[in-house]
Amino acid sequence: MDDYQLLRYSRHILLPQIDVDGQLAILNARVLVIGLGGLGSPVALYLAASGVGNLVLVDDDLVELSNLQRQIAHQTTRCGINKASSAKQSSLALNSHVNIETIERRLDDDAMVAQIKLADVVVDCSDNLVTRLQVNRLCWQAKTPLVSGAAIAFEGQLMVIDARQKDTPCYQCLYDETSDAQLNCAQSGVIAPLVGVIGSLQALESLKIITGLTDVSQLGKLHLYDALSSSWRAFKFPKKTNCPVCGNP
């Protein structure tokens, strides 16, 4: 690292768990972010500020006025433009030394898996079950760590899935195509800072994976946040032997 980087990332480098080697890992990392709405906004901004060298932002949606209550990577003047493009502008304004690619379309399996295989971490910030199940399945096949988040009304959830770890369950062990997890913010509403809480934690877990700080005992746990009571609960859920994604053959 040069003097500029040593100063810019000095608060990371001061942490003995990260130090210079950890920041170098961050600078050399590639992170794929799926969805640049309420969750993806803080994820993109914090990863860019942290110095993640390569960000790939994927979203086929356009910025709308109703997004601005919570999607902090966007601005009023950007209504009508693609969310990935808007998030890129905001992220580069924070850190122009980060390389940011945007994909402004919905990815089919072939295109998605090609991106997943290039990534060190995938962060699922999508708002629909179909995409979450797709990303989970393809990350598991590629053995790429996945950080999954969701937020609705006053409730948030966080999960880290890593197929490289033995006996770890996947997202589909908990939810499948018949699950009732189909609600979204447009239908049910969401308190604005909740997506910041969950998205910030997704960024944190991504940095922990990159720097080797992940607590393996927390893999396969569903972390639930109740914003009304300001309380967390964590559930260890089992790996389903008949899971079509990660179950035993």
Given a cut of 90, whether residue 145 has pLDDT beyond it is: yes
Q: What is the CA radius of gyration of the chain?
A: 17
Please tell me the predicted confidence (pLDDT) of residue 186: 67
Of 183, 173, 194, 176, the closest CA to residue 236 belongs to 173
Catalytic machinery residues: 185
- Express each pLDDT in 50-98 by its tens digit: 999 999 999 999 999 999 999 999 999 999 999 999 999 999 999 999 9
What is the residue extent of each domain of the chain? 3-236
SS3 content of the chain, % helix, strand, coil (to 5): 40, 20, 40
Q: Backbone dihedral region of 236: left (phi > 0), alpha (psi from -120 to 50 degrees) or beta?
A: beta
pLDDT at 184: 67
Element spanning 43, H or E: helix 40-50
pTM given for the model: 0.95
Pick the CATH number of 3-236 from 3.40.50.620, 3.40.50.720, 3.40.50.1110, 3.30.530.20: 3.40.50.720
Residue 249 scores a pLDDT above 60 = no
| Predicted confidence (pLDDT) per residue in 89-116, tens digit | 999 999 999 999 999 999 999 999 999 9
**Integer Cα distance of 38 and 58 in angstroms:** 14
Instruction: Give the list of residues 6+ apart from residue 188 with CB closer than 8 angstroms, or none.
Output: 152, 153
Kindly state the average pLDDT of the residues 126-130: 93
